[in-house]
Amino acid sequence: MSENQPTYFNELNNEQKEAVKTVNGPLLILAGAGTGKTKVLTSRLAYLLYSKAAHPSQICAVTFTNKAANEMRQRVEKILNNSVAGWWLGTFHSLAARILRSNAELVSLKTTFTIIDTDDQIRLLKQVISAKNIDEKRWPARSLLAIIQRWKDMGLNPNDVKNSFHAGTEFANNQSIHLYKLYQERLIALNAADFGDLLLHVINIFKNNEDIRKIYQKKFKYVLVDEFQDTNASQYLWLNILSLEHKNLCVVGDDDQSIYSWRGADVNNILNFEKDFKTTKTIKLEKNYRSTGNILESASHLISHNKNRLGKKLWTDDDMGNTVNIRTVYDGHEEARLVSDEIESYQRKNTTLNNIAILVRASFQTRTFEDRFLKIGMPYQVIGGLRFYERAEIRDAIAYLRIIHSPDDQLAFERIINKPKRGLGNVTLSIIEKYARSININLELATRKLYETDEISSKAKRVLKTFIKNIDRWREIKNKTKLNEFLEIILEESGYTEMLKKDRSIEAPGRLDNLKELVNAINEFESLSNFLEHIQLVMDGNSNENHETIKIMTLHSAKGLEFPIVFLPGWEDGLFPHQRSIDENGSEGLEEERRLAYVGITRAKNELWILNATSRLTHGQWVDCIPSRFIEELPKDNINHLSLFQDNFNDFQSSIASNWVKNNNPSIQIPTDNKNLKENNNFKLMERIFHQKFGYGKIMEIDGDKVTVDFEKADKKKLLLNFIEKIS
C-alpha cells in the first residue's frame, strides 16, 4: 500500500495488515483470544471494496449470531461511512433463508414458507409420533428433535442416515429414520421449515440444480467467515460449495476456543482446513490486546497440553500484571464466602461490580453464589440463563414441596398435577377447576371428591387417586425423614427424575444436576417451612437488571466476552474437567474441556482467581474432591496458590489430605513435605493395597501422585498416594 492507504490501516499490527491485504486464494486467519479478529475481518471486508477487488454484492460475510452480524455491520459502516443495507452480511441461517426464499419451489416449498421455532417443532413431532402409535412418554418428542437436529447439522437427509453408522437410529425401536421422513413431509405439507432445514434445503438445491449452484458460485467472489472453529458439517459443506468457483474463502477462527461439540460443532473443520484447501495461506494473530502477561502465560501453558491443535502462543506488550490467584477452600460455601469477600475488597478500591464475572462450568454451581449474595445484599445477574430458583425444574420441585406443606396452594397444585405428564387431558383439568370454583374449595379437595364420582373418566380417576395417595404418603413421612432424602423420594416417586433421564435433549443432564443441587440446598435448613420461606425471599428479591451487578454465567456463555476481574470456581476433577464429557468422548472430550478452561482464563483482563474445594456436598453426603488436573498444568511461575485452611501446606495434594483426615480419620499422620511423598512412591500396577475408608483393592493405574484403585467393596476410586498403604 502507498501513502494513500486507508486510515484504519494505522490501527493494525503487521500480522493484521497481512491478513487484510491477502486478497486471493484460501486464507486461514488463526486468531487467538483478544487479538482483534473482528477488527481484521471488518477491515478486510472494507479493503476488498477499497482495492476494487469486489463490489458489495460479490462478498458474502458470515457470522454465527445476530449480535456479531450487527457489530460487523456497524464497524464496516463506520469505516466506509456508508450503509451496508442489502449486503450479504449476516448469520448462516439468515443468508441461507435468503437463498431459500428465491428458490423455495425446488424443494417443494412456496416463497412464503414459515420458519418454525422449537415449540412448533415439538408439537409437530408429537403428532408424528402419535400417528405411528408410539408411546410419547417412553419416546419423548424432545428427544427425537435432538436426534433430528444433529442429523441436519451433519447435512443428512432421511435417506442419508444409516442404521449401522449414525447415532440415534435406535429411537422408538429403530423407527427414528422413518419418523424423520414423516416429519419432513409434514413440514412440506405445512409450507414450513425449521432452522436446520434452512441450510439443508439450500445444500440440496445446490447439489441437485447445477444452474442455480453456478449462479451463486459466480456471484460470491469472496466468502468471509467468523468463528470458523464453531462450524458444523452442514455449514462447512455450504461454505465449500459457495466458494468452489473463485476459491477465495477466508476463515477466521481459533481452534483453541472450539467448545461447542455438544451442539454439532466440529473442531476438525479448522484443524483440516489446510488439507482441504491445498493452497491455503495461514496467518497467526498472537498479539493479545486484552490480558496481562501472567494470564496469557497461564492460558498458553495450559492449552499446550492439547495434542490436536494448530499451535500458537499469545503475548502482549503490556506488563505481566499480578499472578493468577489459586485458592483451595474447604467446601462450596467457603468458596462463595471467599469470592464475596474479595469482591467487597475490590469495591472498597472503587471497582464497579459490572467489571466482575463469575464463570462456572455447570449451571447448578450458581446456587451457592446466589444464596451468598442474597444473604449479604450484593446485587448479581445470571447471564445467558435463569437464576437458579427460576429454572423450570426447580420451580416444579418446589411446587411439590409447597403443596405438601400447604393443601391450599392452588398455583402449586396446578403446576404439578400433570407434571410429569400423567395422561390427564384438558377436559379433566377443566372439570376439577370448575368444580373447585363452584363450591369454593381448593383444587386438591376438589380432586379428592371427583375421583370418587363418575364426572371424569375411569383412567383419569385412577391417575388422580394415585397422585393424591402419593401426596398423603409424602405428608406422612415429611417429619420423619431428612429433608434431602425427602425431596429425593418425591422426585423419584413422582416420576420427575425418570422423565429427565429419558429426555435426550442436551439440556436434560444439566436439569438433573440442578435438581441434585436443590437436594443439597434443602439439606441446609432445619425444616421444610424454613426452606420454603427462604425460597420466597429469594424469588421476591434481587431484580438488578438495570443496576450495577456481578455477572454470573457458564463458561460457554462467556465466550466472546471480557471482564477486568474473573473468578473461576469449581476446578475439581469430575466437575472441571466434567466427568460426563470424558466418559462420553474420551480424550477428545478432555481436550474440549481444556479448551473451555482456556476460554475461561482468557476472559480475564487484569485479575484472575481459580478456586477448588476439597469437599462438596452431594446428595447430602460430603465427597472428597481432587483438584482439577488443569491446575497442575498451569505454569508455576505465573500463579500464586494458597490453601486457606492449612497455611503450612504448599501443594494441592496436602490440602486434600488434610481435609480427608479431618473428616475421616484424625489418627492418620499426613506428611507436610510433598517431596518425601514422591520419594516413597514405589507402588506398582496390580499391587494390592489398603485404604482406611474403602478397604482392600488393586492398583489399576498410576498417574504421578494419583492412583486408580479397584476396591473389592467400593468399585474404582481415584486417590492420592498418601491415602493408601502397602500390604506387607
Nearest to 125 by CA among 172, 64, 173: 172
What φ, ψ does residue 67 adopt, rounded to 5°?
A: -60, -45
- The amino acid at residue 151 is W
Do 333 and 365 form a contact (C-beta atoms < 8 A)? no
Beta-carbon-side half-sphere exposure of residue 521 (alpha carbons within 13 Å): 26
Active site residue 390: no
Do 371 and 333 form a contact (C-beta atoms < 8 A)? no
Of the residues 15, 194, 197, 226, which is catalytic? 226
Q: How many residues does the chain have?
A: 728
- State the cell numbers at 570: 469449581
- State the cell numbers at 615: 469437599
Strands 281-285 and 380-382: unpaired
Active site residue 38: yes
Burial class (CB in 10 A: 0-12, 13-18, 19+), 501: exposed
* Three-state secondary structure string covering 515-559: HHHHHHHHCCCCCHHHHHHHHHHHHHCCCCCCCCCEEEEEHHHHC
Cα dihedral value 137, 141, 143, 146, nearest 10: 180
Q: Helix axis angle, 392-405 relative to 483-493, nearest 10°?
A: 110
Q: What DSSP line would sit under 239-306, residue for residue?
A: HHHHTTTT--EEEEE-GGG---GGGT--THHHHTHHHHSTT-EEEEE-B-SSS-HHHHHHHHHHHTT-
Question: Which H or E run includes 29?
Answer: strand 27-31
Do 686 and 701 form a contact (C-beta atoms < 8 A)? no
Of the residues 16, 38, 184, 235, which is catalytic? 38
- State the cell numbers at 356: 466482575
Active site residue 227: yes
Per DSSP (E only), the strands in 92-175 are 114-115
**CA angle at residue 64 from 200 to 60, to 5 degrees?**
75
- Give the Cα separation of 556 and 277 in Å (integer): 30
User: What own/partner pairs with CB < 8 Å and gap ≥ 24 does 85-90 have?
Assistant: 86/56, 87/56, 87/57, 87/59, 87/61, 88/57, 88/59, 88/60, 88/61, 88/220, 89/45, 89/59, 89/60, 89/61, 90/61, 90/62, 90/63, 90/66
- State the cell numbers at 561: 466476552
What φ, ψ does residue 322 adopt, rounded to 5°?
A: -75, 150
Bridge partners (DSSP) listed for residue 578: 574, 575
Bridge partners (DSSP) listed for residue 285: 31
- State the cell numbers at 32: 487467538
Of the residues 257, 381, 554, 602, which is catalytic? 257
**CA angle at residue 368 from 362 to 370, to 5 degrees?**
95
Of the residues 16, 17, 37, 595, which is catalytic? 37
Of the residues 194, 227, 393, 651, which is catalytic? 227
- State the cell numbers at 675: 517431596
Question: Which H or E run includes 325?
Answer: strand 324-329
Active site residue 37: yes
Of the residues 309, 361, 367, 603, which is catalytic? 603
Active site residue 485: no
- Give the Cα separation of 235 and 149 in Å (integer): 13
Q: Which residues are catalytic?
A: 37-38, 226-227, 257, 603
